[in-house]
Structure 1
Amino acid sequence: MNRKKMLLAGILLSLIGLWIGFDLGQYFTLEQAKAQQIALQDTIAHSPLLSSLIFFMLYVAITALSVPGAAIMTLLGAALFGFWWSLLLISFASTIGATLAFLFSRYILRDWVQERFGHRLAAINTGIEKEGPFYLFSLRLIPIFPFFLVNLLMGLTPISTRRFYWVSQVGMLAGTMVYINAGTQLGQIDTLSGTISAPVLVSLVLLGIFPFMAKAIMGWVKQRQVYANWEKPTHFDQNMVVIGAGAGGLVSAYIAAAVKAKVTLIERHKMGGDCLNTGCVPSKALIRAAHAMSEITHAKEFGITTGDVKVDFQQVMARIHNVITKIEPHDSVSRYTDLGVNCIQGDATVLSPWEVEVNGQRITTRNIVIATGARPLVPNIPGLDTVNYLTSDTVWSLTEQPKRLLVLGGGPIGCELAQSFARLGSHITLVEMADQVLIREDSDAAALVADKLVHDGVDVKTGHKAVSFASFTDEQGQQIQHAELEDRHGNIVTVEFDAVMVALGRVANVKGFGLEELGITTTERGTVEVNAYLQTQYPNIFAVGDVAGPFQLTHAAAHQAWYAAVNGLFGTFKKFKADYSVLPAVTYTAPELARVGINEKEAIEKGIAFDVVTYGIDDLDRAITDGTDEGFIKVITPKGKDTILGATIVGHHAGELLAEFTLAMRHGLGLNKILGTVHPYPTMSEAAKYTAGVWKKANAPQGVLAWVEKYHGWMRRTKANDNTAQKTEEKRA
């Protein structure tokens, strides 16, 4: 807190202290008001304007300082000035005073509160930004809720001063009128509670609840309007129809079947979606082959001599497809049919909010879950369509290993595939427009991964973009393919390649199955727009996974699927907002980069006051013995607390190490709990405990330790004195 804020806080506290110290509240009691009423009326009769101004300023001051007295001032003002004039004075004075209290709170406390608790208040801040006036108006209509508390708390939120003022001006009017009406009969009031009778109080509470009732009614009307052009079936064949059998669709169908709902799952291509067939599974199988090659290449470091090693690329690809075949039964039609899911292969078309057509068959359903996934983004770069380009969908059809592979995109997919092909012997050029690969990650973590890519033979070109492609046949009849890359200074670099891998992100599959006809809206990113409950503008149509975003992760899709299924089947009784607060993610390079919660970059962007705890894995015994002593664990905590806001791990099996931090965050366990947990030796998991130890050492209570040190010194001296005394007694004896 700066000096100006401390000065203002000191002045305000001094004024409040004077109010309490001089017991000024004694002059703002019902008895005093009634006793002074006649004398004050005479003064007002002689100087009405000056009296009104003094009353107005005093009312503003009391309200701004949030001290007791506003209620008595309201009653007295009505008795002195009459109903309408007092209503004018008090209505504006109370709002101005409330706004001043709001501004005091905002100026002195908001930055400190948001800095310290911003991560916890994120949801509240978002809600206030969207519907702050609505909630403020409702609170103002209920006089039993302390207005001064509303003023102070609202000052800590993002609501604008202008909105706070006009909403308060209108919202407090009803309660003010009730008090003023009672105040006109001040002489007949015996107690302050008598100003508002029980029926009037109930009426005001109902008035405060009315905006919520109105909101619910408006929501109902809006739903009616959304469904106005559609005829709802009189009965339904299914409780839920799921379109897409990737991770999101499979989990949605599984949950529906598990709770005995009738559910149909429609897939146009292969069960398991991208993850099984073109994504997670084949890429990890390729990474495993590349890791084996790297192990053999570095065998000399472990005292093992190998002969010539050759990569049989066709055998590598054959194993990848064998792995897919081995996992397929987990996502197969037969398994899900046994679970009670009606599986259909075909192209689904959404005909109405309750009808889906597939293979000429119309299915009526109470709920629909859209889980159609995404496809690789292919940019409109001149000449790209004339060269041999691959995507994460088509790369698995390769039968020959490209000698020279150009990879566009330094995200997780680009980095994983670039390193894998490089370890298998391809010459790789990786192009990334940003200044670092893995742009969402902290620069130190991304730099460590980039260094390892270079070590494995990848030519990493950050700050470059592909501007054109060309293909031609040379004099020897060889096809030559090349790309022109442009750096930030406009310099052009030409790179020849045998194949180019496009890994620039993915585009949601939102077209071609009826969403356009229903008018379902999409976001700027091209994903289906959903609310916190994963509902589209049609409350019975949900979207999960890559088609909805914001995360393109298999486990994120499965996580969303639970909410969509439960909200669709049981939303009449209870709905659940999707919670993304503890969502882990891993980039499977070597070393792996794993993260949960916020990283240092995001903490700075959010303006959170935080501490960074870092432990170097090169200090870990098991990592040293395994020859994987590289990387680090970085944990973000609030200042002086062991609460885990986020963890970033770069190292061997970082994804496995991340689980302990994810569990701790999910269940509110801090670093002290991790430190107090016994970890087997020697294991990589000890890195979590040692990270907690780094935090503990940095946050050790130095004052207490100083006293403990003195105590130990005293104990040493006391023991020595005891021995000397004992020997002296023995000699005397």
Structure 2
Amino acid sequence: MAHDCDLCIIGGGSAGLTVAAGAAQLGARVVLIERGEMGGDCLNYGCVPSKALIAAGHTAQTMRDAARFGIASVEPTIDFAATMDHVKGVIAAIAPNDSVERFEKLGARVLRTTARFESPDTVDAGGERIRAHRFVVASGSRPTAPPITGLDSVPYLTNETVFGNRQRPDHLVIIGGGPIGMEMAQAHRRLGARVTVLEAATILGKDDPELAAIITARLKAEGVVLRDKVKITRVSGTAGAIAIELDGGERIEASHLLVAAGRAPNIEDLDLDKAGVAFTKRGITVDKGLRTSNRRIYAIGDVNGLHPFTHMAGFHGSLVIRNALFRLPVNVHATALPWTTYTDPELAQVGLTEAQAREQHGDGVRIARWPLHENDRAQTERETTGLVKVVADKRGRVLGAGIAAPRAGELIHVWCLAMANGLKLGTVAQMVVPYPTLGEVSKRAAGSFFTNALFSPRTRWLVRLLLRLP
């Protein structure tokens, strides 16, 4: 039986757009269905607006810190509404790359409506039935709120609404000490708000504790109040006057409340049962090739619960192109997962942390490290707090790397490359890199792995022996 298209993609975020652009340009018949904003969470509510706000906060902090360069420090005058206009302007500048018009020019058919499965090979798209040879579910995720008494009765913010707030908070309380919470905490503090972060477990608990401590110390130094291992018993109040009650009777007053404590996959409206697609509360169940229990349907990006990052959503999309169009085998688990928290300094990680490596590899784990204060470029910029920490086995095979430093998200790239290609520390140590650059810290960290052996008594003996030769 003929199909209406080769690929029907549900969701116009990073994952879905990657598949749509690639498949359409390769000649496949593509239908893309998106009920919300093109570009998805990343463009409209996540990566892009948050980094634009962070950039504004960084500029404000640079003005405060200018005295270290012999320039008079000043307390910046901040027009918070104008700052939010800057954020919206950045979104608008990038939006054409994700627009309906662009994807229609590429050859895709774009439908702005809701998609629901009617059968294993058919969806209803706003009353139109679409039959496809393959489907790609890329419907993303949404913020969730913890089960706190009274929370649903107060006007709290999420990552989807915080960038629409044009009034600078007097006191912003953030529930959640993960990457989103910490990024928004520092950005708002630098833009003049008082900020308190409340975390039920450990702040930045998924990162290496030694590196995370560098980040938390900086935020505390800038005036952010960080509270971990706290239990919130009740939330009450109205806009501008919200009360957060903690276990033990402590009461915190806030003008604004931001909830950044988890996300859930967007699967409720898809009628997955009719398509024979298995799922859990974490997301759609997939195999290593990102196929669901219905082999003609892929699930990629946040909706499968594997890797909640935009760059991984794009990676998932590229795997679907390889498998669905070229019939090449793929394995989503074959590539080490990198992530970055865009505080200042940034915190980046790829592969295993030290604790994870020791759990998996035991006593065979070796740590190579290099402090930022030993980097000359860092000294010139007066940004010397940071650390590169590389986890390897006895033979120098890289198991993971973490960096706390300015632009750590850029510096982690070499370690992503090393892990993706099975490079050992010796290869990284032998790189010739420009001087002076922050990137030199990775070369130095790799070289430190060999320091003890290189300058050992045995090596010194060998050198003395060789020097005696004619």
Q: What is the TM-score of this pair, normalised by structure 1? A: 0.62
SS in 2 for 1:241: strand
Q: 1:54-83: CA deviations, max 9, x gaps?
A: xxxxxxxxxxxxxxxxxxxxxxxxxxxxxx
Asked if the contact 1:615–1:632 (Cα under 8 Å) also holds between the matched residues in 2, the reply is yes
Q: 1:685-718: CA deviations, max 9, x gaps?
A: 1111111221121332746514324326646xx9
Asked if the contact 1:594–1:649 (Cα under 8 Å) also holds between the matched residues in 2, the reply is yes
Asked if the contact 1:634–1:647 (Cα under 8 Å) also holds between the matched residues in 2, the reply is yes
Asked if the contact 2:240–2:254 (Cα under 8 Å) also holds between the matched residues in 1, the reply is no
Structure 2 match to 1:600: 354
Is 1:377 the counterpart of 2:144? The answer is yes
Q: AA paired with 1:576?
A: V
Structure 2 match to 1:359: 126
Structure 1 match to 2:256: 499
SS in 2 for 1:579: helix
> Sequence identity, in percent?
36
Larger Rg: 1
Pick one of 370, 374, 398 that aligns with 1:619. Answer: 374
Asked if the contact 1:441–1:601 (Cα under 8 Å) also holds between the matched residues in 2, the reply is no
Structure 2 match to 1:465: 231
Supply the distance in 2 between the matched residues of 1:330 and 1:669 (Cα, whole angstroms).
Answer: 35
| Equivalent residues in 2 for 1:152-551, closer than 5 Å | 234-434=1-201, 436-471=202-237, 480-486=241-247, 491-523=248-280, 525-551=281-307
Q: AA paired with 1:366?
A: H
Change over 3 Å in CA distance of 1:307–1:714 after alignment to 2: closer
Change over 3 Å in CA distance of 1:308–1:280 after alignment to 2: closer
Pairwise CA distance, 1:570: 4.1
Asked if the contact 2:137–2:300 (Cα under 8 Å) also holds between the matched residues in 1, the reply is yes
Q: AA paired with 1:493?
A: E
State which drifts further: 642-651 or 599-608.
599-608
Pairwise CA distance, 1:549: 2.1
**Structure with the greater relative contact order (CA < 8 A, sep ≥ 6): 1 or 2?**
2
Pairwise CA distance, 1:336: 1.2
Q: 1:247-294: CA deviations, max 9, x gaps?
A: 110011122113211011110011100000000000000000000011
SS in 2 for 1:542: strand
Structure 2 match to 1:96: none
Is 1:558 the counterpart of 2:320? The answer is no
Structure 2 match to 1:659: 413
Asked if the contact 1:618–1:624 (Cα under 8 Å) also holds between the matched residues in 2, the reply is yes
Pairwise CA distance, 1:404: 0.4
Pairwise CA distance, 1:479: 6.2
Displaced runs of 4 or more, over 6 A: none
Supply the distance in 1 between the matched residues of 2:19 and 2:379 (Cα, whole angstroms).
Answer: 44
Pairwise CA distance, 1:394: 0.7
Q: AA paired with 2:222?
A: D
Supply the distance in 2 between the matched residues of 1:342 and 1:479 (Cα, whole angstroms).
Answer: 45
Pairwise CA distance, 1:309: 2.1
Supply the distance in 2 between the matched residues of 1:575 and 1:675 (Cα, whole angstroms).
Answer: 33
Q: Name stretches of at least 5 consecutive residues in structure 1 with no aligned partner.
A: 1-233, 473-477, 719-733
Q: What is the RMSD of the two structures over their aligned residues, measured on CA atoms?
A: 1.7
| Equivalent residues in 2 for 1:135-146, closer than 5 Å | none
Q: AA paired with 2:246?
A: L
Asked if the contact 1:278–1:392 (Cα under 8 Å) also holds between the matched residues in 2, the reply is yes
Pairwise CA distance, 1:348: 1.1
Structure 2 match to 1:629: 384
Q: Name stretches of at least 5 consecutive residues in structure 2 with no aligned partner.
A: none
SS in 1 for 2:21: helix
Pairwise CA distance, 1:420: 0.6
State which drifts further: 330-339 or 379-388.
379-388
| Equivalent residues in 2 for 1:559-708, closer than 5 Å | 559-571=315-327, 574-608=328-362, 609-639=364-394, 641-700=395-454, 702=456, 704-708=458-462
Structure 2 match to 1:147: none
Change over 3 Å in CA distance of 1:711–1:494 after alignment to 2: same
Supply the distance in 2 between the matched residues of 1:522 and 1:513 (Cα, whole angstroms).
Answer: 11
Q: 1:318-363: CA deviations, max 9, x gaps?
A: 0000000000011111111111111111111111121122122111
Between the two proteins, the alignment pairs up a number of residues equal to: 469
Asked if the contact 2:120–2:276 (Cα under 8 Å) also holds between the matched residues in 1, the reply is no
State which drifts further: 395-404 or 577-586.
577-586
Pairwise CA distance, 1:482: 0.8
Supply the distance in 2 between the matched residues of 1:264 and 1:566 (Cα, whole angstroms).
Answer: 18
Change over 3 Å in CA distance of 1:580–1:374 after alignment to 2: farther
Q: 1:406-426: CA deviations, max 9, x gaps?
A: 100010000000111011111
Asked if the contact 1:236–1:366 (Cα under 8 Å) also holds between the matched residues in 2, the reply is yes
SS in 2 for 1:390: coil
Supply the distance in 1 between the matched residues of 2:325 and 2:148 (Cα, whole angstroms).
Answer: 45
Asked if the contact 1:540–1:568 (Cα under 8 Å) also holds between the matched residues in 2, the reply is no
Asked if the contact 1:532–1:577 (Cα under 8 Å) also holds between the matched residues in 2, the reply is yes
Q: AA paired with 1:494?
A: R
Pairwise CA distance, 1:584: 1.4
Q: 1:179-212: CA deviations, max 9, x gaps?
A: xxxxxxxxxxxxxxxxxxxxxxxxxxxxxxxxxx
The structure in which a higher percent of residues are helix is 1
SS in 1 for 2:53: helix
SS in 2 for 1:440: coil
Q: AA paired with 1:325?
A: A
Supply the distance in 2 between the matched residues of 1:459 and 1:391 (Cα, whole angstroms).
Answer: 19
Asked if the contact 1:349–1:358 (Cα under 8 Å) also holds between the matched residues in 2, the reply is yes
Change over 3 Å in CA distance of 1:516–1:657 after alignment to 2: same
Asked if the contact 1:243–1:371 (Cα under 8 Å) also holds between the matched residues in 2, the reply is yes
Q: AA paired with 1:495?
A: I
SS in 1 for 2:332: coil
Supply the distance in 2 between the matched residues of 1:479 and 1:245 (Cα, whole angstroms).
Answer: 35
Pairwise CA distance, 1:367: 0.6
Structure 1 match to 2:465: 711
Supply the distance in 2 between the matched residues of 1:516 and 1:394 (Cα, whole angstroms).
Answer: 31
SS in 1 for 2:396: coil
Supply the distance in 1 between the matched residues of 2:74 and 2:430 (Cα, whole angstroms).
Answer: 48
